Copies of this chain bind each other. A is one copy, B any other.
């Protein structure tokens, strides 16, 4: 098959059938026919070499890894992780693998679980915007643990990470939005495949074994959206990491499974989605990379608030006013902003994430909206409360959810305005490497010493030159 890059970006030969369809409107029938989907995906990932990865995809892989580590370290001291460890750590096997940001070592299955949980707690990890998959959690958690069981070079690791992300995002593309609309938390369901592919790659599976690994992974989808707001949401990427690791290890030993789990009758696609665009999985493999479309959140709250926060931070940085000088703040934005984040008087940090008023206030006061701007103390701070009371929101469906207009009226009569077309962190305006470092540092600074934080980030940027990835895991432990 010959496909140029434009064909691929437009959906590719097989996928083109479905592109014109209204998402989710096609009923229970597949929207494109099966085309040896599982086998072609397995063949690709088995053959794909580090040397084949384009330079921009390698850099995106390093960014994905660094962002994931920062989130996992940042989440490592939470009640969620403490409770999971209280329940499970006593059953751990040989303590081969580190927990990021913590002192404990556990067997690779439990380490994969806990690091996966940690990395998702703040909902601050990476996002594949087309599917809302958070790709790194299930994949990186599994292969970092596996790298402490057998030596893995950084180049091999980076290749496995990219391939795992590629597999889960492509499978997600094939079933989104029907799969998501049914109630599935897509990060855990597709993530199990991503973990299986990445672990299978590190284990050197052949194509037969890789098909089995995908098969065993398909029998273990994890995650329902009903868990949003509970600790179990973060359990999903961790358990997906475990499931994929289990699948790859079993397949390595010849434990058989369906070899057409994605597209076959009574398979994963049939059970978990009403529509299927299988061309999204197989078209342009090795030419177009979904892993290159990963994004990173600059702000520790829902993406719908990001244009407003971005505008607030820009105006503060340029005009250097103090909170006391602000007379009024006016936001014009899409109605989704108020329907999702319309809390006017949040009482806790978590509620603050659902208050665009709070989000704008901390943007104006701190020039940031990281995890620490959503601590309970900040939400209850009198200066923050005073400023957020001066914020009003006017909604207009004509304004896209990726856009915002913010006006700040100062007491001296100045009127400052900023229009945002795409917020920082979007595909159009990605976070710079320096911004990712600042985010990492902010997440890790109360947990690890400054020099260690610098060392971990350097190891992430030079990941593919590392002789043994285990060093990174050890360095990122407390």
Contacts and interface: CB of A to CB of B under 8 A. Distances in A.
Contact of A258 (B86, B90, B227, B258): B227
Copies of this chain per assembly: 2
A284 to B, nearest CB: 26
Interface string A268-282: 101110000000000
B218 A264 contact: no
Nearest to A106: B93
B258 A230 contact: yes
B87 A108 contact: no
Contacts of A109: 91
A256 B270 contact: no
A83 B253 contact: yes
A94 interface: yes
Contacts of A249: 87-88
Given A219-B232, A224-B261, A261-B224, A182 B271 contact: yes
A256 B230 contact: yes
A227 B84 contact: no
Interface of A: 80, 83-84, 86-88, 90-94, 107-109, 182-185, 188, 215-216, 218-228, 230-232, 235-236, 239, 246, 249-250, 252-258, 260-261, 264-268, 270-272
Given A91-B109, A226-B268, 19 more contacts: A84-B255, A87-B250, A87-B252, A87-B255, A90-B94, A93-B107, A183-B268, A183-B270, A215-B227, A216-B235, A219-B223, A219-B239, A220-B220, A224-B267, A224-B268, A227-B261, A231-B255, A232-B258, A239-B246
